[in-house]
Amino acid sequence: MNKNVLACPHCIKDLHDLKCSECGKQYEERDGVPIFIDDVKIGAVEQHQRGRANLARRVLRFLKPPHHSVYFKNLRSSNEEGPELVEFLKNFDENDIVINVGSLSKKIKGVYNLDIAYYPNIDLVADAHCMPFKDGSIDGVIIKNVFEHLKDPAKVREELQRVVKKGGRIYAKVPFMQPFHAVPDDYQRFSINGLHEFFKDFEVIEEGISVGPSSALAWFLQEYLAILFSFNSDRAYRVWRGFFSYFTAPIKYFDVFFRKRKEAHRLASAFYLVLKN
């Protein structure tokens, strides 16, 4: 990516060869990826690969248990990119800088990935609470399935206001009715009214249900049954969760009947908002 937009995440001052002009902090670069976290999990790539080699995970991958959720608008797996995000990305051209905050290893064409660990396909290793960008230097931000994992979401919201250009856009996908899922931890949920209050300093361009009530029910049932029959065994829990997904996942397609239900937001799994700074 264009390193001219990078700044010291603590001083917000210019960097010269990844050295801060204010505090003198020298940041590391690994295989062309700038690293702005001192205790970064450099081994995350290897851990990611080892996790895939774990026998239980290999068995579950071979069996390919169905995913518990689909997008509300097109009933396609929510593991893919949703229709709202696809439309959002049409607002940018190849010269714009769009950052995917908390991307894990997922890659979207023309988008730069930022995460706290050195995963595959990462372009920047940094903490969203103190982003390594100059003020008003970013054209767009994707922050999808991230806010529930943040210790201080208000601080990250302030960082978004700071780094995104005036008139720049943000795509946020935020959970509401979802089971606990720690990546690496899980702290909060947001109702649609809570999101309006949380993002009150932004202009809401578009909003809606991203993942619907039936997907939420499918996920809760999968977790409920796996916990019930696991008898406190983590391995049994993972196996049962994969097993029960075959029976609970079809429930998600009942979301087709909720599209015209005005109260569907009361049980939605996740909402999306398109915001203008």
Helix (H) or strand (E) holding 19: strand 19-20
Judged against a pLDDT cut of 90, whether residue 226 lies above it is answered with: yes
Angle 125-275-194 (CA atoms, 0-180°, nearest 5)?
95
pLDDT (tens digit, 9 = 90+) per residue, 115-154?
A: 998 888 999 999 999 999 999 999 999 999 999 999 999 9
**What domains can you pick out in the chain, each with its CATH number?**
3-276 (3.40.50.150)
pTM attached to this predicted model: 0.91
Task: Tell me what pLDDT residue 224 has.
Answer: 98
- Of residues 58 and 163, which shows the higher confidence score? 163
Query: Percent of the chain beyond pLDDT 90?
Result: 82
In this prediction, residues 229-233 reach a mean pLDDT of 96
Distances (CA, A) of 149 to 164, 189, 227, 268: 21, 10, 22, 19
DSSP assignments along 121-190, one per residue = T-SEE--TTS-SB-TT-EEEEEEES-GGG-S-HHHHHHHHHHHEEEEEEEEEEEESS-----SS------
| Average predicted confidence (pLDDT) for the chain | 92
Q: How confident is the model at residue 44 (pLDDT cuts 50, 70, 90)?
A: very low
Q: How confident is the model at residue 105 (pLDDT cuts 50, 70, 90)?
A: confident
Task: Tell me what pLDDT residue 62 has.
Answer: 64
In this prediction, residues 208-230 reach a mean pLDDT of 98
- Of residues 87 and 52, which shows the higher confidence score? 87
- What is the strand order of the sheet 270-276 is part of? 28-30, 33-35, 124-125, 112-115, 98-101, 138-144, 164-175, 270-276, 203-211
In this prediction, residues 151-174 reach a mean pLDDT of 97
Q: How confident is the model at residue 69 (pLDDT cuts 50, 70, 90)?
A: very high
Task: Tell me what pLDDT residue 4 has.
Answer: 92
Task: Tell me what pLDDT residue 183 has.
Answer: 84
Task: Tell me what pLDDT residue 57 has.
Answer: 61
